[in-house]
């Protein structure tokens, strides 16, 4: 490295790797990974989410959660933009993932037809 | 560079504490379990440095949730993977439980032990992989160095550090900026910068943790200091007993040199800085800067009189600036955030934070970083979780073996350099030993003095001979052979040693004795006048055990464990302990099935 | 340098910046007691006896290491100062054997003197009674004795050995109360890289370092009717032994010395100066030979046994540069047990040769296996100046009122050239006086080589310029030897004396010894040289007779057998 600018550039690249350890102010995607979720295909959904994020170099934290009691709607996927309501999508398929990411995560528009629940901000 | 995004990071502590409680095996198992479930591309395992909570180790933290698992066993790994990493369910039974409320706390930041802390020096410890310069850079590492080199003159760096109010964290509390300025002012073809990592206080391990957990931070702090004083060469003097710290430093030095952050023309600024590691043999006195320099030069670690100060004549006679590890750790923060942000923390004369090694009869032991001015009460009760087994606090010993003992009634003392000195203790490198009612203060003073006596370099008369005589007096007091006038003699000698010793080892060695004499004089007097150790600690003065004949069933369990054959009696008949033979070890009482034995 | 003004005990004094408080006080005539301080060694600041009070802030300072500051107000005698000094002395005494009666330094001990001056009583010390250091005495000899229990850890010996002699034969080891001055691996003194120079003995304030005494052996020989006891005295003794009897250093007492030795019962009394002349002839001619053959140059002198042992340990590769000529002591004894025995008709087996030397290394030299060329151990006993004075005192000889007497016949003539062997540069000057005359027939002007460190000069003899170096103190010698080893030395002749100032500053000389003492002793020797009618060795009539009747000529076969020796490489540890 020959300058401070180079150092800063390197940092920006490297920061993404560290995202998982700093979720404050970041968009979160939470996938239901209870037995019910996994049985309904949550793992495939999770893989698809990770692929999309990597492809688009998104600044997003992916997390998983257990069964929340809506087993018949699994796989469940929550998206929470910073300061916005937490939206839960149900019966998500691999194919839905791209839509949710592009429309909701990137453009901020909720994919209304897949929504099964909505939690107000801070309700977490 | 191809950045791989993992959805989850599992941080496994590989500090010395956790390694010795088995974190290596945990990592092995974790790798295997992740592979078995095909999770290796989703979950990243990160080795980290110490979290300071070694007592609860091995520690595993799972992000993004930041769940803090403690005392993890190899057998627990598959459950963490299956439940948490796969199914997102927190493994409740491995969570930290607050000692007072028994409440399980999942998150790092919610645990009382961490909640009241303010981690600046330790900010990255336990959060990044110390063997990855990339992780350090990702959290903003080396930007302070870049800022100093490209946007500030050396004088401006010194001015910033002066304004921040940072003082030496090795114990003496000399203003860091001023020290740098004194070395900067000297004209010389060569100057040196030295990092004092000769951590010698028993129980203190903040320097080790910093070097193990965030070595690049120290390197960055040193490079900034070298730029400020005009040095192009530096040494890290670290004790050879810290193999992991040395290893991590070696890795870090190599990585920094590879990226051009050490060596020639750093970041295109024209500034050169080369850094070496010097392993010390672990003599306590080598923490004294002139002894440390003698040791680096290959001579016997013995202090020499000052002046001349190292800033004028240090390593090989050249101007040399020496700071402690923790001092350097604060420097990048100050340069990045500005002096005002730093000086907003703390008290009037003591700014910023201080790391303490909390040990003794306290629920949460470990490394804690707190703002200056915090009270002892907050440290002991809010962070430390109070005294073990519900006992009463008796005293707190601060400042390592030559610190002083602060009695429980000074619990609301705000911690800073001046207030500690005022009560006869000192900041030292940040050792903090909590003692409860079962501690004998005479015995404590004797313990610390025996350490400083055997670690005295032997050069000057008062320290070499005087501490020996003090120790002999304490030995006899603890053996029940104290004499009239012993306390006065201890005080006379103690003050004399403080006043006439060559270096600060002798200058502070009597502190534990003098401070306990000041606050616990009655306890000393009981030893001498009544031949009684009120805490029932001192061998030879413990009262003998007695068997309650009305309770004794004559089972002979006690006779069989007594190491000195003090107990006699026929089977099925009450037994008797000969008080002249009994050494009050308590083995009989522990064995008695009917609790018939107690101290008389 | 800027001037600093300060007040000490109410008196104002102006001194150079960088002066210590101790030195400033001495300028005012105020003597501050010291133990670890030594004016010719680095500052140590360890004994804490020299504390003074800074009245401005109430702090106690070790005055030997405290630099003066402008406006300082110092007390050297406040109650706090007196109490602190006493307590440090008491602490030293509490770990010191209660053995003044049996100590070689009793009456000449700095610790004892301070104890008296500070009025310390037995009770003052007994309140600190406890463990005392209990270590074995190292007296296997043959030169030096260490009694670690008497050591007060002032470090003067450690410093003189490191800083002046560059040997580091002694060092602090252990920690805390177990600290001790010891040798590498705690080996006995005769097994280490030590030159036996005895400078450690000279600077020791107490009796922890002394010579291995040979007084009793000499008394036994004197009392033995079978023994014919011959004594030689080194040139440096006559200007120093007077100090033991209250005279000024440098007082010339040659005649009284001879008289005292006769009264002690020595059968014959000679001066080593006789054989110093012999050394000059042998070594001078050896040098001429080396010059002619351009071999083994620079030529390095060999009369100092401290230097020889140092070279054997540390420069074994340069031993071929050393003159093979024996030291005057060993030449004298070899001649005594051959030529002289024959002359007086005494069986050499019954001759007991004693030499009185300013030197502790001579005690080792005499037992070297190379020095048995007479068929016996050539030199039987070596006494230091101090030991001889003690013998004279024991039998109550009134030294100061003795008449002046002459050395005995046949080996009694001495020259001024030999006399100045006793000081650095003397050997060189004496040798060159002879070399020049041998080669050119012209006398040599006086060389002004001075006293200390490394001195160099050029001398022109018969159209060739000789580069001459004279060095004393082994640390200084090492600088020249490193050049020789590197092949960059420009010198033809190097004289090395282990002790600073040469033999007059030797390890066997009266204590105390300061720079001033040594200068005065040198002046004493120079005055003898000047007043001597014969100032060149080759003109000594007794020497001329010795060659004529016994040896033949310098470097003859017989001279080689009796007067030359060889050296052995020794390990560096």
Mean pLDDT of B6-24: 88
What's residue C451's pLDDT? 46
Q: φ, ψ for residue B324 (rounded to 5)?
A: -80, 160
Check pLDDT > 70 for residue B311. Answer: yes
Q: What is the mean pLDDT of residues A83-111?
A: 88
> For B141, which residue in chain A has the nearest alpha carbon?
A11
Among this protein's residues, is C286 annotated catalytic?
A: yes
Whether residues C227 and C196 share a domain: the answer is no
C168 and C284 housed in the same domain: no
Q: Is C532 exposed, middle or buried (0-12, 13-18, 19+ CB in 10 A)?
A: middle
DSSP summary character for residue C31: P
**A14 falls within a domain:** no
Last residue of a domain, one of C211, C227, C260: C211
pLDDT at B259: 93
Which among B88, B259, B267 has the least Cβ separation from residue A3?
B267
The answer to whether residue B203 scores a pLDDT higher than 90 is no
pLDDT reading at B190 higher than 60 = yes
Within 10 Å of residue B434's Cβ, how many Cβ atoms? 24
pLDDT tens profile C63-101: 999 999 999 999 999 999 999 999 999 999 999 998 899
Q: What average pLDDT does the segment A59-85 reach?
A: 80
Indicate whether A109 belongs to any domain. yes
Q: Which two tokens stand for residue C349?
A: 């087996």
Q: Is the pLDDT of residue B216 over 60?
A: yes
End-to-end, the C-alpha distance of chain C in Å comes to 44
Do residues C503 and C358 make contact, with C-beta atoms less than 8 angstroms apart?
yes
CB neighbourhood size of A9 (10 A): 12
What architecture (CATH level 2) is domain B543-599? 2-Layer Sandwich (3.30)
The answer to whether C283 is a known catalytic residue is yes
Higher-scoring residue by pLDDT: B106, C261: C261
What is the pLDDT, as a whole number, of residue C75?
97
Q: Are residues C176 and C45 in the same domain?
A: no
A18 and B138 within 8 Å at the Cβ level: the answer is yes
Q: Which two tokens stand for residue C485?
A: 């080893």
Q: Is residue C97 in some structural domain?
A: no
Going by C-beta distance under 8 Å and a sequence separation of 6 or more, which residues neighbour residue C534?
C413, C415, C416, C540, C541
Which contiguous run of DSSP H or E holds residue C541? helix C541-546
Whether residue B63 has pLDDT greater than 90: no
Mean pLDDT of C290-314: 94
**Catalytic: which of C256, C309, C337, C362?**
C362
- Across the interface, whether the CB atoms of B5 and A13 are under 8 A apart is answered no
Q: How far apart are the CA of C175 and the nearest CA of chain B, in angstroms?
A: 5
User: What are the residues facing C130 on neighbouring strands?
Assistant: none
**E strand or H helix at C5:** strand C3-8
Name the band, by pLDDT with cuts 50, 70 and 90, for residue A60. confident
C176/B468 Cβ within 8 A: yes
Asked if residue C191 and residue C334 are part of one domain, the reply reads: no
Note down the domain range covering A115. 23-119
Residues C332 and C200 in one domain: no
Residue C448 pLDDT > 70: no
- State chain B's maximal CA–CA distance in angstroms: 90
Question: Do at least 3 CB pairs under 8 Å connect B with A?
Answer: yes
| pLDDT tops 50 at residue B129 | yes
Confidence band for C445, pLDDT divided at 50, 70 and 90: low
pLDDT at A34: 72
pLDDT given for residue B201 in this prediction: 81
- The phi, psi pair for A75, rounded to 5°, reads -65, 140
pLDDT above 70: percentage of residues in chain A: 90
Contact A63 B8 (CB under 8 A): yes
| Judgement on whether residues C491 and C520 belong to the same structural domain of the protein | yes
Q: State how many domains chain C has.
A: 3
| Alpha-carbon distances, residue C345 vs B337, C341, C413 (angstroms) | 100, 6, 21
Distance from CA of C496 to the nearest CA of B (A): 28
Answer yes or no: is C205 within a domain.
Answer: yes
Token pair listed for A51: 């692929």
- Domain edges within chain B: 8-111, 133-343, 353-436, 441-529, 543-599
pLDDT at B475 over 50: yes
pLDDT interval class at A124 (50, 70, 90): very low
Structure tokens at C54: 């800074």
- Angle (CA) B274-B279-C43 rounded to 5° is 90
Q: Does A24 touch chain B (CB under 8 A)?
A: no
- Identify which of B2, B86, B90 has the alpha carbon closest to the alpha carbon of residue B37: B86
Query: CB within 8 A of C225, min separation 6: which ones?
Result: none
Q: Which fold has domain B8-111?
A: Glutaredoxin (3.40.30)
The confidence score (pLDDT) of residue B469 equals: 97
Q: Are C508 and C198 in contact (CB under 8 A)?
A: yes
CB contact under 8 A, C177 and B496: no
Q: CA-nearest residue of chain C to B285? A: C175
Cα separation, B523 vs B542, whole angstroms:
14
More confident position, A61 or B165: B165
Q: Is B536 part of the contact surface with chain C (CB cutoff 8 Å)?
A: no
Task: Note whether C174 and C26 are same-domain residues.
Answer: no
Give chain B's radius of gyration (CA, Å): 27
CA distances from C561 to B219, C323, C331, C372, C548 (A): 69, 15, 11, 10, 17
- Peptide bond just before A75 cis, omega within 30 deg: yes
Mean pLDDT of C246-269: 96
- Per-residue model confidence (pLDDT) at position B599: 79
Do A and C share at least 3 CB pairs under 8 Å? no
Q: Are residues C310 and C185 in the same domain?
A: no
Other beta carbons within 10 Å of B350: 24
Q: Quote the CA–CA distance of C313 and C473 in Å, as a whole number.
A: 16
Q: Hey, which of B267-271, B402-406, C350-354 has the most confident mean pLDDT?
A: C350-354
pLDDT band at B54 (very low <50, low <70, confident <90, very high): confident
| pLDDT score of B1 | 41
Q: Which residues of C182-191 are buried (b: 16+ CB within 10 A; e: fewer)?
A: bbeeeeebbe
Q: Hey, which chains touch A, using 3+ CB pairs under 8 Å? A: B
Give the span between the Cα atoms of A103 and C198, in whole angstroms: 94
Measured at the alpha carbon of residue C4, what is the angle toward residues C2 and C7, in degrees to the nearest 5? Answer: 170
Residues C191 and C238 in one domain: no
pLDDT-derived band of residue C282, with 50, 70 and 90 as boundaries? very high
Closest CA to C150 of C207, C107, C189, C205: C207
- DSSP β-bridge partners for residue A63: A30
How far A6 CA sits from the closest chain B CA (Å)? Answer: 9
Calpha distance C556→C540 (Å, rounded): 19
| C130 at B interface, C-beta within 8 A | yes
CB pairs under 8 A between A and B: 110
Report how far apart, in Å, the C-alpha atoms of C205 and of each of C23, C39, C111, C208, C383 are: 20, 13, 7, 8, 21
Give me the count of residues in chain A.
Answer: 124
Kindly report the nearest CA distance between residue B463 and chain C, in angstroms.
Answer: 8
| C220 included as an active-site residue | no
**CB-closest option in B63, B86, B138 to A33:** B86
CB of B121 within 8 Å of a chain C CB? The answer is no
CB within 8 Å of chain C, chain B residues 453-512: 453-462, 464-469, 472, 489, 492-493, 496, 499-502
Overall domain count for chain A: 1
Query: How does C285-302 read in b/e, with b if 16+ C-beta sit within 10 Å?
Result: bbbbebbeeeebbbbbbb
| Range B441-529: architecture per CATH | Up-down Bundle (1.20)
Share of chain C above pLDDT 90, in %: 80
Q: Is the pLDDT of residue A123 over 60?
A: no
* Residue from C110, C273, C282, C286 carrying the catalytic annotation: C286
Query: What angle (nearest 5°) sits at the alpha carbon of residue C417, between those of residues C319 and C306?
Result: 35
In a domain, A4, yes or no: no
Closest C-alpha to C130, from B528, B458, B489, B523: B489
Q: Which domain holds residue C158?
A: 144-211
Inter-chain CB pairs, B–C, below 8 Å = 104
Give CA–CA dist B30/B12, Å, rounded.
Answer: 10
pLDDT score, position B42: 85
Query: In this structure, which topology does domain B353-436 adopt according to CATH?
Result: Ubiquitin-like (UB roll) (3.10.20)
* Residues C224 and C161 both lie in one domain: no
User: HEC states along C136-200?
Assistant: CCECCCCCEEECHHHCCCCCHHHHHHHHHCCCCCCEEECCHHHCEEECHHHCCHHHCCCCCCCHH
**Across the strands, what pairs with A18?**
none
C273-293 and C328-335 helices, crossing angle to 10°: 110
Beta-carbon separation of A21 and B63 below 8 A: yes
Task: List Cβ neighbours of C366 (8 Å cut-off, separation of 6 or more).
Answer: C142, C329, C330, C333, C355, C377, C378, C379, C380, C381, C382
pLDDT of residue C86: 97
Say if B279 is an interface residue toward chain C (CB within 8 Å): no
Q: Does A109 touch chain B (CB under 8 A)?
A: no
At residue B277, φ and ψ (nearest 5 deg) are -105, 130
CB contact under 8 A, C177 and B501: no
pTM greater than the 0.95 cutoff: no
Distance CA C355, CA C385 (A): 10
Same-domain pairing of C385 and C437: yes
Which of C59, C91, C178 should one mutate to test binding to chain B, selecting the residue with the greatest count of B CBs within 10 A?
C91
Say which of C503, C518, C520, C536 is annotated catalytic: C503
The mean pLDDT value for C422-447 works out to 79
- Candidates B481, B447, B361, B366; CA nearest to B112 is B366
Residues of B with CB under 8 A from a CB of A: 1, 3-9, 11, 42, 44, 63-66, 86-89, 127-128, 134-135, 137-140, 142-143, 146-147, 149-150, 259-261, 267-268
The gap from C-alpha A89 to its chain's centroid, in whole angstroms, comes to 11
Q: Looking at residue C373, which CATH number applies to its domain?
A: 3.40.50.1780
Q: Is residue C115 part of a domain?
A: no
The stretches of C265-320 forming alpha helices (DSSP H) are 273-293, 305-314
Report the pLDDT value the prediction gives residue B584, as an integer from 0 to 100: 81
CATH of the domain at C195: 3.30.70.20
C50 assigned to active site: no
A91-103 pLDDT, tens digit per residue, is 898 889 999 998 9
In whole angstroms, give the CA distance from residue C183 to residue B576: 58
This model of the complex carries an ipTM of 0.91
Residue of A nearest to B108 (CA): A21
Q: Is C10 part of a structural domain of the chain?
A: yes
The answer to whether residue C451 sits within a structural domain is yes
- Per DSSP, the residues of B13-77 read E-SHHHHHTTHHHHHHHHHHHHHHTT-TTTEEEEEE---S-GGG-S-EEEETTTEEE-S--GGGH
Q: Which residue of C has its CA nearest to B457?
A: C175
Rounded Cα distance, C73 and C80, in Å: 15
Mutate to test the interface with C, among B499, B501, B506, B507 (most CBs of C within 10 A): B499
Report the candidate in C558, C565, C529 with the shortest Cα–Cα distance to residue C277: C529
| CATH code of residue A79 | 3.40.30.10
Q: Which pLDDT tens digit goes with each residue over C190-241?
A: 899 999 999 999 999 999 999 999 999 999 999 999 999 999 999 999 999 9
DSSP C446-458: PP---SSSEEEEE
Instruction: Please return the burial class of A13, using the count of CB atoms within 10 Å of its CB with bins 0-12, 13-18 and 19+.
Output: middle
How close B71 comes to chain C (CA, Å)?
A: 40
Average pLDDT, chain B: 91
- The pLDDT, as a whole number, for residue A67 is 67
CB contact under 8 A, B86 and A38: yes
* Claim to verify: residue C201 and residue C233 sit in the same structural domain: no
Which CATH fold topology does B133-343 show?
Answer: Rossmann fold (3.40.50)
| CB-based contact, A35 to chain B, within 8 Å | yes
pLDDT at C383 > cutoff 50: yes
Compute the distance between CA of residue C20 and CA of residue C24 in angstroms, rounded to an integer: 6
Chain C residues whose CB is inside 8 A of the B448 CB are none
Q: Does C46 touch chain B (CB under 8 A)?
A: yes
Interchain CB distance below 8 Å, B89 and A66: yes
Instruction: State the sign of the Cα–Cα–Cα–Cα dihedral C464, C470, C474, C478.
Output: negative
């Amino acid at each position: 490295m020959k300058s401070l600018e180079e150092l800063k550039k390197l940092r920006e690249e490297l920061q993404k790797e560290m995202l998982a350890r700093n979720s404050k102010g970041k968009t979160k995607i939470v996938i239901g990974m209870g037995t019910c979720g996994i049985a309904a295909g949550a793992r495939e959904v999770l893989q698809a989410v990770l692929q999309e994020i990597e492809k688009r170099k998104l600044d997003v934290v992916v997390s998983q959660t257990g069964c929340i009691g809506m087993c018949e709607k699994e796989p469940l996927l929550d998206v929470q933009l910073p300061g916005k309501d937490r939206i839960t999508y149900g019966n998500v398929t691999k194919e839905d993932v791209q839509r949710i990411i592009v429309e909701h995560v990137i453009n901020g528009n909720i994919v209304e037809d897949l929504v099964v629940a909505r939690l107000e901000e801070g309700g977490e | 560079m191809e950045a791989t995004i993992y959805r989850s990071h599992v941080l496994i502590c590989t500090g010395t504490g956790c390694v010795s409680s088995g974190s290596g095996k945990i990592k092995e198992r974790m790798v295997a379990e992740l592979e078995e479930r095909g999770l290796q591309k989703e979950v990243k395992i990160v080795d980290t440095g110490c979290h300071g909570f070694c007592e609860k180790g091995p520690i595993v933290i799972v992000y993004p949730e930041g769940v803090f698992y403690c005392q993890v066993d190899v057998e627990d790994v598959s459950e963490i993977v299956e439940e948490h990493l796969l199914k997102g369910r927190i493994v409740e039974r491995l969570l930290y439980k607050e000692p007072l409320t028994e409440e399980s706390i999942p998150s790092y930041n919610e645990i009382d032990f961490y909640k009241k802390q303010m981690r600046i020096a330790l900010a990255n410890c336990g959060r990044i992989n110390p063997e990855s310069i990339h992780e350090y850079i990702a959290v903003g590492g080396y930007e302070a160095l870049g800022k100093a080199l490209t946007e500030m003159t050396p004088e401006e760096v010194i001015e910033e550090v002066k304004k921040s109010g940072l003082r030496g964290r090795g114990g003496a509390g000399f203003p860091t900026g001023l020290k740098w300025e004194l070395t900067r002012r000297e004209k010389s073809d060569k100057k040196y910068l030295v990092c004092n990592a000769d951590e010698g206080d028993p129980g203190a391990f903040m320097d080790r943790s910093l070097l193990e957990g965030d070595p690049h931070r120290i390197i960055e702090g040193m490079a900034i200091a070298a730029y400020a004083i005009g040095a192009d060469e530096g040494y890290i003097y670290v004790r050879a007993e810290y193999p992991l710290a040395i290893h991590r430093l070696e890795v870090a030095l190599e990585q920094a040199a590879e990226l051009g952050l050490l060596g020639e023309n750093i970041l295109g600024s024209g500034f050169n800085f080369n850094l070496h590691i010097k392993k010390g043999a672990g003599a306590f006195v080598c923490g004294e800067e002139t002894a440390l320099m003698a040791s680096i030069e290959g001579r016997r670690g013995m202090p020499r009189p000052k002046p001349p100060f190292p800033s004028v004549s240090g390593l090989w006679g050249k101007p040399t600036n020496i700071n402690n590890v923790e001092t350097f750790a604060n420097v990048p923060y100050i340069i990045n955030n500005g002096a005002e942000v730093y000086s907003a923390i703390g008290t009037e004369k003591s700014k910023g934070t201080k790391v303490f090694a909390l040990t003794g009869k306290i629920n949460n032991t470990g490394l804690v970083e707190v703002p200056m001015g915090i009270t002892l009460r907050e440290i002991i009760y809010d962070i430390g979780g109070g005294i073990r087994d519900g006992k009463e606090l008796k005293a707190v010993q601060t400042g390592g073996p030559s610190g002083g003992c602060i009695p429980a009634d000074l619990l609301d003392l705000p911690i800073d350099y001046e207030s500690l000195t005022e009560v006869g203790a000192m900041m030292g490198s940040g050792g903090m030993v909590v003692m409860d009612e079962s501690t004998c203060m005479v015995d404590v003073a004797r313990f610390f003095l025996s350490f400083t006596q055997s670690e005295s370099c032997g050069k000057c008369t008062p320290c070499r001979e005087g501490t020996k005589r003090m120790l002999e007096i304490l030995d006899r007091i603890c053996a029940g052979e104290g004499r009239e006038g012993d306390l006065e003699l201890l005080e006379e000698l103690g003050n004399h040693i403080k006043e006439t010793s060559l270096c600060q080892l002798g200058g502070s060695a009597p502190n534990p004795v003098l401070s306990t004499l000041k606050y616990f004089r009655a306890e000393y007097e009981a030893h001498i006048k009544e031949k009684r150790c009120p805490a029932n600690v001192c061998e030879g003065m413990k009262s003998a055990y007695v068997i309650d004949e009305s309770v004794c069933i004559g089972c002979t369990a006690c006779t069989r464990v007594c190491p000195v054959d003090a107990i006699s009696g026929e089977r099925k008949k009450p037994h008797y302990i000969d008080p002249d033979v009994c050494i009050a070890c308590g083995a009989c009482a522990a064995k008695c099935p009917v609790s018939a034995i107690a101290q008389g | 340098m800027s001037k600093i003004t300060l007040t000490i005990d109410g008196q104002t004094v102006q001194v150079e910046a960088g002066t210590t408080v101790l030195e400033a006080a001495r300028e005012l005539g105020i003597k501050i007691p010291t133990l670890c301080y030594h004016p010719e060694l680095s500052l140590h600041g360890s004994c804490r006896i020299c504390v003074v009070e800074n009245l401005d802030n109430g702090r106690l300072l070790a005055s030997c290491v405290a630099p003066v500051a402008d406006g300082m107000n110092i007390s050297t005698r406040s109650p706090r100062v007196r109490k602190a000094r006493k307590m440090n002395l008491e602490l030293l005494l509490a770990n010191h054997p209660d053995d003044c009666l049996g100590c070689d330094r009793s009456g000449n001990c700095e610790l004892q003197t301070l104890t008296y001056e500070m009025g310390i009583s037995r009770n003052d010390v007994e309140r600190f009674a406890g463990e005392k250091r209990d270590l074995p005495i190292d007296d296997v000899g043959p030169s030096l004795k260490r009694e670690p229990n008497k050591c007060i850890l002032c470090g003067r010996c450690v410093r003189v050995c490191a800083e002046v002699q560059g040997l580091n034969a002694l060092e602090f080891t252990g920690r805390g109360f177990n600290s001790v001055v010891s040798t590498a691996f705690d080996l006995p003194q005769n097994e280490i890289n030590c030159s036996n120079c005895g400078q450690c003995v000279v600077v020791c304030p107490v009796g922890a370092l002394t010579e291995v005494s040979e007084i009793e052996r000499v008394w036994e020989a004197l009392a033995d009717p079978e023994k014919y006891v011959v004594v030689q005295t080194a040139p440096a003794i006559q200007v120093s032994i007077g100090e033991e009897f209250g005279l000024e250093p440098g007082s010339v007492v040659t005649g009284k010395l001879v008289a005292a030795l006769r009264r002690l019962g020595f059968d014959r009394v000679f001066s080593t100066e006789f054989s110093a002349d012999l050394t000059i002839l042998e070594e001078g001619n050896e040098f001429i030979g080396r010059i002619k053959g351009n071999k083994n140059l620079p030529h390095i002198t060999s009369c100092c046994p401290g230097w020889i042992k140092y070279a054997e340990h540390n420069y074994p590769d340069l031993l071929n540069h050393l003159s093979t000529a024996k030291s005057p002591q060993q030449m004298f004894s070899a001649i005594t047990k051959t030529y002289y025995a024959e002359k007086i008709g005494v069986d050499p087996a019954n001759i007991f040769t004693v030499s009185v030397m300013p030197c502790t290394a001579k005690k080792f030299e005499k037992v070297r296996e190379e020095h048995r060329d007479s068929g016996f151990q050539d030199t039987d006993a070596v006494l230091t100046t101090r030991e001889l004075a003690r013998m004279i005192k024991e039998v109550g000889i009134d030294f100061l009122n003795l008449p002046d007497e002459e050395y005995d016949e046949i080996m009694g003539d001495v020259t001024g050239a030999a006399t100045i062997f006793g000081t650095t540069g003397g050997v060189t000057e004496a040798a060159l006086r002879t070399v020049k005359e041998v080669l050119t027939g012209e006398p040599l002007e006086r060389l002004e080589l001075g006293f200390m460190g490394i001195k160099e000069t050029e001398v022109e003899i018969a159209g060739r310029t000789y580069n001459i170096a004279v060095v004393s103190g082994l640390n200084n010698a090492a600088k020249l030897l490193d050049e020789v080893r590197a092949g960059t030395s420009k010198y033809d002749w190097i004289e090395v004396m282990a002790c600073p100032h040469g033999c007059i500053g030797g390890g066997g000389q009266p204590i105390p010894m300061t720079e001033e003492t040594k200068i005065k002793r040198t002046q004493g020797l120079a005055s003898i040289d000047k007043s001597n009618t014969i100032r060149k060795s080759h003109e000594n009539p007794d020497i001329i007779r010795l060659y004529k009747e016994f040896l033949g000529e310098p470097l003859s076969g017989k001279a080689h057998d009796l007067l030359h020796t060889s050296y052995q490489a020794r390990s560096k540890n």
